[in-house]
Chains A and B, each alone.
Chain A
Amino acid sequence: MQCSKCGNPKVIYKREQSGQILCKDCFIESIEKKAIKTVKKEKLLDKGDKVLVALSGGKDSVTTLEVLNSFRERNIIDICAVTVDEGIANYRQEGVDIAIRHAQRLGIEHKVVSLKDEYGITLDEIMQRENHKGSCTYCGVFRRTIINKAAREMGATKIATGHNLDDEVQGIIMNYLEGNTDNLTKLGAKSESQAEEFTVKIKPLREIPEREIGLYVVAKDLEVHFDSCPYAMQSFRGEVSELINQLTEKHPTIKYSTLRGYDKIKNILKDELKKDYAHGRCSRCGEPASNELCKACSFLEELGL
């Protein structure tokens, strides 16, 4: 067996969807090329952008940072990073420490924002409350709010997240199965800014399978936090993910074709289903909101904070 690209007999990966076999160097190069191709094809970056990387310390965000740093090295963009510390004992701290080390290694502006500092409560404390809405509901809403705010404070023109091919395909199938056409129109490589206060979000890794990102960080010896959140449980997303992975075993190109198909109909969906976005403001914090209160503030009120 030898590398399909350079003939090196030390191969590390077999791409089921194409039959390609790759050595370490050619594999690393293929991942970086793929992400750069997405950046160019989808016009994710403009010269002079300041990109805020949502850096959890996990494999996806560290890879995003690594790929975008190649644009920074060529003076095309500037990078900063934010890490949200949700306050999950025995889990989050390691990711935070790893994120700090990556930011220091690259010499980029970085801040860590904790739920405790921002809202006076940790996710663990929220989970002690009776009739809470489930960890991931709070986690997602608070994280998004903190990242949006950090982007404005740090003067970022884009926010980069680590969403990979698996995440995107799960999103497409999940929203379709749930009939959630509203959320279905919001997927894609680049978010349209609905309100000026929302920084455009970009997903440079959306065409790379999750497993390849995992292999990439190991192959490149990048320090990442590999662990599962203690609150991660059987969710609908998890079930959909399992189903797609089962299908992928016999049909290795299925994730790609789902994404391609979605990308073809996305604009039609958007035009057909376009809603007038509310340009209101949250009466409590001033963030853009479609109701009296933004989601984060309505959770805070419910929690009596």
Chain B
Amino acid sequence: MTFILKYKQLNEERDIPHENYTIKDLLKELELSAQTMVSKQNGELVIEDTVIQDGDEIQLVQIIYGG
């Protein structure tokens, strides 16, 4: 069970570590603040409670920057 993560230059295949693995869990793992990001699942905006499915493409977009 894997998904594709796209974030900035990153474009990699990652394992889904457990059942009901959400985007929120992924953000925590990457130490990214949910407050500064929005997420897309297969090209569509979704909330962070969304469970990542096998074969998903998850794209993270940072929307808040300093300065």
Contacts and interface: CB of A to CB of B under 8 A. Distances in A.
Nearest to A136: B67
A228 B65 contact: yes
Interface stretch (A7-15, A145-153, A280-288): A7-15
Sort chain B's interface into a size bin. Answer: 10 to 19
B65 A227 contact: yes
Interface residues of A, number: 26
B44 interface: yes
A177 interface: no
Contacts, number: 50
A214 interface: yes
Nearest to A24: B45
29 contacts: A1-B47, A10-B44, A11-B46, A12-B46, A12-B47, A13-B47, A24-B45, A59-B63, A210-B64, A211-B35, A211-B63, A211-B64, A214-B63, A215-B38, A215-B45, A215-B63, A217-B63, A218-B61, A226-B62, A226-B63, A227-B65, A228-B65, A228-B67, A231-B67, A232-B65, A232-B66, A232-B67, A233-B66, A233-B67
Interface of B: 35-36, 38, 44-47, 49, 61-67
Interface of A: 1, 10-14, 21, 24, 59, 136, 210-211, 214-215, 217-219, 226-229, 231-233, 238, 245
